[in-house]
Copies of this chain bind each other. A is one copy, B any other.
Amino acid sequence: MLKYQEVADRIELAIKDKKLSQGTRLPSLNELISKYDVSKTTLVKALTTLEDKGVIYQVQGSGIFVRRQKRDGYIALMTNMGFTKDLENNKLSTKVIDLKIETPSAEVARELNCAPGEEVYFIKRIRYVDNNVLCIEQSYFRKKIVPYLNKEIISESIFNYLTEVLKLKIGFSDKYLRTDILKKTEAKLLELPNNSPGLYIDELFYTASGEPFDLSQTIYNYKHANFFIQSGQK
A-side interface residues toward B, CB under 8 Å? 2, 5, 22-23, 40-41, 44-45, 48-49, 52-54, 57, 59-60, 62, 65, 67-68, 70-71, 74, 77-81, 170-181, 195-199, 206, 208-210, 220, 222, 225-234
B residues less than 8 Å from A172 (CB atoms): 54, 57, 67, 230-233
Find the B residue at minimum CB distance from A206: B57
Q: How far is the CA of A145 from the CA of B5 in the complex (A)?
A: 36
Q: Once the chains are docked, how many angstroms separate the CA of A1 from the CA of B178?
A: 34
User: In the complex, given contacts A49-B52, A178-B227, A180-B197, what are 16 additional A-B residue pairs having Cβ atoms less than 8 angstroms apart?
Assistant: A44-B44, A52-B232, A53-B232, A53-B234, A57-B171, A77-B229, A78-B232, A80-B232, A80-B233, A172-B230, A175-B229, A176-B227, A179-B225, A196-B197, A197-B222, A229-B229
Given contacts A5-B234, A41-B41, A57-B171, contact A177 B48 (CB under 8 A): no
Q: Are A178 and B222 in contact (CB-based, < 8 A)? A: yes
Q: A174: which of B68, B173, B176, B197 is its contact (CB, 8 Å)?
A: B68
Question: Given A41-B41, A59-B208, does the pair A79, B179 have CB atoms closer than 8 Å?
Answer: no
Partner of A175, one of B209, B220, B231: B231
From residue A33, how far is it (CB to closest CB) to chain B in Å? 12
Residues from chain B with Cβ under 8 Å of A199 in the complex: 178-179, 199
Of residues A77, A176, A222, A234, which shows the largest number of chain B Cβ atoms within 10 Å of its Cβ?
A234
Cross-chain contact B57 with A222 (CB below 8 angstroms): no
Q: Which of A2, A196, A226, A229 has the most CB of B within 10 A?
A: A229
Residue pair B226, A60 in contact (C-beta under 8 Å)? no
